[in-house]
């Protein structure tokens, strides 16, 4: 079975409270982004995971695809599988690339072996692999809260919107990003703000990580300014960075912009 684990973007992100378990509560809106990896999962005589594309730190046993297999194997006594992951979504980007791989591995294993799992049960397995993972089980726009793994529906349709995502070849680990951000109450009601015309989002749909990280990594502010200068209606850091995206309303495709050669850039429609 061949699947294409996609990335996500955060529209606004408030880091609201420290939790007793060491994590933070947050409020954000997640939307799928069709920048994808490729993951093949096949029954096999022996277990294996091979990798290509962007190098992933850590050995294969710590890969989230493998950890997803181990979780289900423990409960369902699965046959052996061979997996191949081609990594294209940048790591440490705030795009949830590893989380998408994990959730798509769970989904593929459920299909391949016809496991009797509901969506809610699959989300429970996903939560054990990372806060972002559960989103990718349903993979549709949601208002996310608590650890970013509890969801409420949101009526927001950005389908077809021209978008550019810029990764400045800067790995920001999620743990480091959280250690730099101070919790505070939400600055706006995100769902109300997103219901207003997109040009107003610039002032009301904000990401707490952006304020915390830009003084340390000025390139984040420079990319955002360049996206606005090129006509973006809205631009922001995604998640805990370092990817910055722009949304361009009224355009078929984003304008062509020149970025340094070591940046990775995704341009397309949502
Ligand atoms: C920044 C976001 O991408 C927003 O969507 C997510 O909150 C990050 O989710 P993730 O990459 O799946 O993160 P996890 O692997 O669960 O956690 C990595 C580290 O980030 C911190 N962390 C993560 C999520 C959260 N709600 N509070 C936290 O404090 C913790 O220090 C944790 O050890
Ligand atoms: N399939 C995978 N893809 C990416 N990273 C993985 C994967 N499996 C395990 N990891 C580990 O997760 C770490 C990346 O986590 P990190 O949170 O920085 O980035 P991410 O999951 O790509 O996306 P985000 O920045 O949105 O959280 C890597 O250092 C790597 O050790």
**Does ligand 2 lie within 6 Å of residue 60's CB atom?**
no
Binding-site residue ranges for ATP: 90-100
DSSP 94: S
When the pLDDT of each residue in the chain is averaged and rounded to a whole number, the result is: 97
pLDDT tens-digit map of 195-248: 999 999 999 999 999 999 999 999 999 999 999 999 999 999 999 999 999 999
Mean pLDDT of 31-56: 97
**Does ligand 2 lie within 6 Å of residue 156's CB atom?**
no
Residue 178 Cα to ligand 1 middle (Å): 7
Residue nearest to atom 4 of ligand 1 (CA): 239
Residue 58 Cα to ligand 2 middle (Å): 10
DSSP 46: S
Q: Name the helix (H) or strand (E) containing 212.
A: helix 208-213
Listing from the earlier edge strand, what are the strands of the sheet with 6-18? 6-18, 24-36, 142-145, 150-153
**Does ligand 2 lie within 6 Å of residue 172's CB atom?**
no
Does pTM top 0.95 for this prediction?
yes
Does residue 110 carry a catalytic annotation? no
Q: How many CA atoms lie within 13 A of 111 on its CB side?
A: 13
Kindly provide the ipTM of the predicted complex, given to two decimals. 0.95
Check residue 94 and give its pLDDT: 98
Q: Which of 37, 132, 149, 208 is catalytic?
A: 132
**Does ligand 1 lie within 6 Å of residue 27's CB atom?**
no
Check residue 185 and give its pLDDT: 96
Say if CB 186 and CB 27 are below 8 A apart. Answer: yes
Say if CB 1 and CB 40 are below 8 A apart. Answer: yes
Using the predicted structure, report yes or no on whether residue 60 has a pLDDT greater than 90: no
DSSP 132: T
Can you list the alpha helix ranges (DSSP code H) found in 25-160?
64-76, 97-112, 119-127, 135-138
Check residue 180 and give its pLDDT: 95
Check residue 88 and give its pLDDT: 98
Residue 98 Cα to ligand 2 middle (Å): 4
**Does ligand 2 lie within 6 Å of residue 65's CB atom?**
yes
Report which bound ligand comes closest to the CA of 69: 2
Mean pLDDT of 236-264: 96
pLDDT tens-digit map of 63-75: 999 999 999 999 9
Does residue 8 carry a catalytic annotation? yes
Mean pLDDT of 128-145: 98
């Amino acid at each position: 079975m061949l699947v294409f684990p996609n990335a996500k973007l955060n529209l606004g992100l408030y880091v609201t409270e420290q939790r007793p378990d060491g994590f933070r509560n947050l409020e954000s809106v997640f939307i799928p982004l069709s920048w994808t990896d490729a993951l093949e999962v096949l029954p096999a005589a022996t277990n294996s995971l091979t990798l290509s594309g962007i190098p992933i730190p850590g050995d294969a046993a710590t890969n989230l695809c493998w950890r997803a297999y181990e979780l289900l194997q423990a409960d369902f006594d699965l046959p052996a599988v061979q997996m191949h992951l081609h990594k294209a979504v940048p790591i440490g980007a705030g795009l949830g690339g590893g989380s998408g791989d994990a959730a798509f591995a769970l989904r593929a294993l459920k299909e391949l072996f016809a496991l009797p799992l509901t969506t809610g049960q699959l989300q429970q397995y996903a939560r054990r692999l990372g806060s972002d993972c559960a989103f990718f089980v349903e993979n549709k726009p949601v208002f996310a809260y608590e650890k970013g793994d509890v969801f409420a529906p949101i009526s927001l349709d950005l389908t077809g919107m021209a978008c550019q995502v810029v990764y400045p070849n800067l790995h920001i680990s999620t743990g480091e990003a959280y250690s730099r951000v101070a919790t505070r109450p939400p600055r706006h009601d995100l769902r109300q703000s997103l219901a207003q015309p997109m040009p107003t989002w610039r002032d009301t749909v904000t990401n707490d990580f952006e304020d915390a990280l830009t003084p340390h990594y000025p390139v984040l502010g420079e990319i955002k300014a360049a996206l606005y200068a090129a006509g973006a209606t809205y631009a922001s850091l995604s998640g805990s960075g370092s990817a910055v995206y722009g949304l361009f309303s009224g355009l078929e495709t984003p304008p062509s912009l020149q970025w340094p050669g070591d940046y990775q850039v995704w341009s397309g429609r949502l």
